[in-house]
Amino acid sequence: MAPSPKRSFLPLSLSLILSLSALFLFSLYRSSTSTTSSTSHFSLPSLHSPPPPFTFTVKLLAFDRLSSLSRCLRSLSVAHYDNDRVNLHIFIDHFKVTDTSSTGSLDVDSKLNESRKILDFVDGFNWEFGEKLVHYRTGNVGLQAQWLEAWWPSSDDEFAFVVEDDLEVSPLYYKFLKGLIGYYYYNASNFSPWIYGASLQRPRFVPGKHGNKLQLDSNTRIFLYQLVGTWGQLLFPRPWKEFRLWYDTHKTKGIKPFLQGMVTSGWYKRMGERIWTPWYIKFIHSHGYFNLYTSFSHERALSISHRDAGVNYGKTAGPDSNLLDVKSLDFNLLEMQPLSKLKWYDYCFRQVLPDRVVRDLNELGFVLHSLQKSKTIILVNVHKVSQTVTRNLLCHFEGLNIQNYILVGPKSNFLLDLARRGHPVIDVDQFLENMQSHKMIDFQRSTLGLIKEILVNAYVVEKTLELGYNTWLVDGNMLPVSSNMFLDVTDPSFDFYAGNTFKVLFVRSSSSAKKIWVDDFIQRVEKMVNSLKGKDLVSMDGRNFAFVVTKLLEQKGVKIKARRNRYVDHRWRIFVHGCCLSRVMTSDCQRRCLLQ
Ligand SMILES: *[C@@H]1O[C@H](CO)[C@@H](O)[C@H](O)[C@H]1NC(C)=O
Ligand SMILES: *[C@@H]1O[C@H](CO)[C@@H](O)[C@H](O)[C@H]1NC(C)=O
């Protein structure tokens, strides 16, 4: 529903500009996410019998802190390596070379001396487990290049474990990572192409503004979380390579790694290219990847940071956690839980429930149950809604903390990918096939999708009424402006609300509404749909479930709350070609969503 008729008809030139810019943004989007699809060709690493066929390299990033570096190296060298070959690559960043006329050459001399000491120490450091390689930089490159240039995987059987110099690792760290690689990478039943690695640090930080507190029950020892952990991060080869290519594309084209609602966007604004995490966080978000984490009791971890003064800390903050060592080990470290048992968390530390795909009424019950925090369900119809617009809508839902929705649409890779990322979906094709009573062959192809959608909505609403949920049916082309709109249907004298362009319909969970549905409503919908048989798309234009239901309810003489309902009109905006029509929303929605 357009707030006023004027807004629904933009001048042609303006709408052309809007659609062209949307097209442009869309193609940017496509190019930025094209690597996503390549992951579907990911071939599972072959399962070999032990010893594992992988190479393991520690990438140690150092700068100018000799005492930190020596502590880190010492902890690495006393770890248990089971006679496996483990390489050590040390990257030493150079100090900043500034104009010496003001500071004097004494300062430079002492810095040169400090560097020599670090190099001497590293040269004299004995590494008996594999290759030792020292990379001494000629200029100051900062943490971003230190991380990104530390590794280019040359095979799918190569792993990098990145540590910054103020870390200390547990003597057990390698045994654990080896077990983890064997279990979650080389065991096909626990492998997922969406896992990019494992962090050994104690999880502490939630980067999404207004995110949940990081809380886990005491039974959770391993879980999945999107955030990268910079204190002891194991990287899997394929996602890292994808990241390097993604970064290359975005950086070269000047696309910034802003992510709405994340504190890391603020870091990026302040620190720019000195840090790398905003880039990686944005990449992980766009690809829907996850990281393995450990949660041990008593604030223990296999890798801790001493948070020494340096690039990240102005002054030394001290160890963040307790090191889990052989002495304090009071459980079986190598016992891994099957992937299917692990919990997944997004950047706001909200639990993600992947792969909620509804294919029949039974599964609908489960999914509704998983949304049970709310007594109201939003069914979003995405038939004929473009991917960009759908993503944008979901992005707005996320921004408004709306979680009680289900997407209703035809089966597609896109829909399944959304489900994998935790958005519940109803696959209308499969759903109707399982209802079995419908032969769709008589319908023209052009109207088939719409008809399926109408039928599925009718069944779904029947089920939601039966289970006691209010239901909003909304068109995927709509945008919520405020999350309140779903709370404000307070006038109990009406069971139904409808918008004047049939883009929104509300069905209250009441005994009277239920009665209407249970009586013969589904049959009426089916009959009406059958009467549409053979009609072409033109005559179906603007017809959707809300339209059909409204007509039928009117025929039955049911009161429907004013179509120009202020609640509805004021809180939804029509959304065309990937951009909002309302002027207030245009810049907001572009900033918030389309750039992703
Ligand atoms: C640098 O080291 C040299 C030789 O060890 C020493 O003579 C010199 O005083 C040192 N300079 C500074 C500024 O520390
Ligand atoms: C692979 O994982 C499955 C399921 O978790 C487990 O039962 C099986 O023992 C594992 N196989 C190996 C070789 O570890």
46 Cα: distance to centroid of ligand 2 (angstroms): 14
pLDDT tops 60 at residue 37? no
CB of 109 within 6 A of ligand 1: the answer is: yes
Atom of ligand 1 minimally distant from the CA of 112: 1
pLDDT band at 223 (very low <50, low <70, confident <90, very high): very high
Residue 474: CB atoms within 10 A of its CB come to 24
Q: What is the CATH number of the domain that holds 572?
A: 3.90.550
Average pLDDT of the segment spanning 132-159: 96
Residue having the nearest C-alpha atom to atom 2 of ligand 2: 189
183-184-188 Cα angle (round to 5) = 85
Structure confidence at residue 391 (pLDDT):
84
pTM of the model: 0.79
pLDDT in tens, 264-296: 888 888 888 888 999 999 999 889 999 999 999
Structure confidence at residue 442 (pLDDT):
55
Residue 58, classified by CB atoms within 10 Å of its CB into exposed (0-12), middle (13-18) or buried (19+), is buried
pLDDT band at 309 (very low <50, low <70, confident <90, very high): confident
User: Within this chain, do residues 478 and 433 fall inside the same structural domain, yes or no?
Assistant: yes
68 Cα: distance to centroid of ligand 1 (angstroms): 22
User: Within this chain, do residues 227 and 357 fall inside the same structural domain, yes or no?
Assistant: no
User: Within this chain, do residues 360 and 302 fall inside the same structural domain, yes or no?
Assistant: no
Per the domain annotation, does 94 fall within a domain? Answer: yes
User: Within this chain, do residues 429 and 373 fall inside the same structural domain, yes or no?
Assistant: yes
Q: What share of the chain is helix, strand, coil (3-state, %, to 5)?
A: 40, 15, 40
Which of 318, 345, 372 terminates a domain? The answer is 345
Per the domain annotation, does 42 fall within a domain? Answer: no
CB of 187 within 6 A of ligand 2: the answer is: yes
Residue type, position 584, single letter: V
Q: Give percent of the chain above pLDDT 70.
A: 77
Starting from the CA of residue 188, give the closest ligand: 2
- Which token pair is 522? 């589904």
pLDDT in tens, 343-402: 999 998 988 998 899 999 889 988 988 886 778 899 999 888 888 878 878 877 877 778
User: Within this chain, do residues 316 and 439 fall inside the same structural domain, yes or no?
Assistant: no
Atom of ligand 1 minimally distant from the CA of 109: 13
| Long-range contacts, stretch 258-264, CB < 8 angstroms, 24+ apart | 258/282, 258/595, 259/285, 259/596, 260/395, 260/399, 260/591, 260/592, 260/593, 261/208, 261/209, 261/210, 261/398, 261/399, 262/207, 262/208, 262/209, 262/347, 263/207, 263/208, 263/209, 264/207
Structure confidence at residue 90 (pLDDT):
98
**What is the residue range of 361's domain?**
353-592
Structure confidence at residue 26 (pLDDT):
36
User: Within this chain, do residues 554 and 413 fall inside the same structural domain, yes or no?
Assistant: yes
Residue having the nearest C-alpha atom to atom 12 of ligand 1: 110
Point out the least confidently predicted range of 259-263, 335-339, 570-574. Answer: 570-574
CB of 106 within 6 A of ligand 1: the answer is: yes
Structure confidence at residue 13 (pLDDT):
40
Bridge partners (DSSP) of residue 262 are: 208
189 Cα: distance to centroid of ligand 2 (angstroms): 7
Residue having the nearest C-alpha atom to atom 3 of ligand 2: 189
pLDDT band at 199 (very low <50, low <70, confident <90, very high): very high
pLDDT tops 60 at residue 499? yes
C-alpha–C-alpha distance, residues 127 and 122, integer Å = 10
Pocket perturbation via mutation, ligand 1, pick of 110, 114, 119, 120 by most ligand atoms within 8 A of CB: 110
CB of 120 within 6 A of ligand 1: the answer is: no
pLDDT band at 71 (very low <50, low <70, confident <90, very high): very high
Structure confidence at residue 15 (pLDDT):
39
Atom of ligand 2 minimally distant from the CA of 189: 2
117 Cα: distance to centroid of ligand 1 (angstroms): 11
Bridge partners (DSSP) of residue 475 are: 381
Residue having the nearest C-alpha atom to atom 13 of ligand 1: 110
Pocket perturbation via mutation, ligand 1, pick of 95, 100, 109, 114 by most ligand atoms within 8 A of CB: 109
Q: What is the mean pLDDT of the chain?
A: 80
Structure confidence at residue 492 (pLDDT):
72
pLDDT tops 90 at residue 75? yes
pLDDT band at 51 (very low <50, low <70, confident <90, very high): low
505 Cα: distance to centroid of ligand 2 (angstroms): 49
Structure confidence at residue 131 (pLDDT):
97
User: Within this chain, do residues 397 and 317 fall inside the same structural domain, yes or no?
Assistant: no
C-alpha–C-alpha distance, residues 33 and 287, integer Å = 7
Higher pLDDT, 179 or 386: 179
Residue 152: CB atoms within 10 A of its CB come to 12
User: Within this chain, do residues 486 and 533 fall inside the same structural domain, yes or no?
Assistant: yes
Per the domain annotation, does 262 fall within a domain? Answer: no
Average pLDDT of the segment spanning 223-233: 96
pLDDT tops 70 at residue 521? yes
pLDDT tops 60 at residue 54? yes
Structure confidence at residue 438 (pLDDT):
55
C-alpha–C-alpha distance, residues 460 and 368, integer Å = 10
pLDDT tops 70 at residue 474? yes
Residues 452/432, Cβ–Cβ less than 8 Å: yes
Beta strands in 147-211 (DSSP E): 158-164, 167-169, 195-199
pLDDT band at 433 (very low <50, low <70, confident <90, very high): confident
Measuring CA to CA, which residue among 190, 280, 265 is closest to residue 235? 280
C-alpha–C-alpha distance, residues 384 and 372, integer Å = 28
Structure confidence at residue 32 (pLDDT):
37
Residue having the nearest C-alpha atom to atom 5 of ligand 2: 338
User: Within this chain, do residues 429 and 295 fall inside the same structural domain, yes or no?
Assistant: no
C-alpha–C-alpha distance, residues 589 and 23, integer Å = 15
Which of 329, 345, 361 terminates a domain? The answer is 345
pLDDT tops 70 at residue 579? no
Higher pLDDT, 441 or 105: 105
What is the end-to-end Cα distance of the chain in Å, rounded?
27
pLDDT tops 60 at residue 508? yes
Per the domain annotation, does 309 fall within a domain? Answer: yes
Residue having the nearest C-alpha atom to atom 12 of ligand 2: 187
Coil, helix or strand at residue 207 = coil
340 Cα: distance to centroid of ligand 2 (angstroms): 12
Per the domain annotation, does 263 fall within a domain? Answer: no
User: Within this chain, do residues 376 and 317 fall inside the same structural domain, yes or no?
Assistant: no
Average pLDDT of the segment spanning 164-181: 96
Per the domain annotation, does 386 fall within a domain? Answer: yes
112 Cα: distance to centroid of ligand 1 (angstroms): 9
Backbone angles phi, psi at 505, to 5 degrees: -140, 135
Structure confidence at residue 102 (pLDDT):
63
Exposure pattern of 79-97 as b/e (b: 16+ CB <10 Å)? bebeebebbbbbbbbebee
User: Within this chain, do residues 301 and 360 fall inside the same structural domain, yes or no?
Assistant: no
Per the domain annotation, does 452 fall within a domain? Answer: yes
Q: How many CA atoms lie within 13 A of 537 on its CB side?
A: 7
Which of 327, 345, 363 terminates a domain? The answer is 345
C-alpha dist (Å) from residue 15 to 151, 389, 390: 46, 16, 19
Q: Is the dihedral angle over the CA atoms 573, 577, 581, 584 positive or is it negative?
A: positive
Residues 470/377, Cβ–Cβ less than 8 Å: yes
Per the domain annotation, does 490 fall within a domain? Answer: yes
Structure confidence at residue 406 (pLDDT):
95
Pocket perturbation via mutation, ligand 2, pick of 178, 180, 187, 191 by most ligand atoms within 8 A of CB: 187
User: Within this chain, do residues 336 and 443 fall inside the same structural domain, yes or no?
Assistant: no
Atom of ligand 2 minimally distant from the CA of 188: 1
Residues 551/558, Cβ–Cβ less than 8 Å: no
Specify the number of domains making up the chain. 2
Point out the least confidently predicted range of 4-13, 80-89, 388-397, 431-440. Answer: 4-13
pLDDT tops 50 at residue 115? yes
* DSSP structure string for 275-330: --HHHHHHHHHHHT-EEEEE-BTTTEESEEE---SSSS-SS----SSEE--TTT--
Residue having the nearest C-alpha atom to atom 14 of ligand 1: 110
Structure confidence at residue 105 (pLDDT):
74
73 Cα: distance to centroid of ligand 1 (angstroms): 25
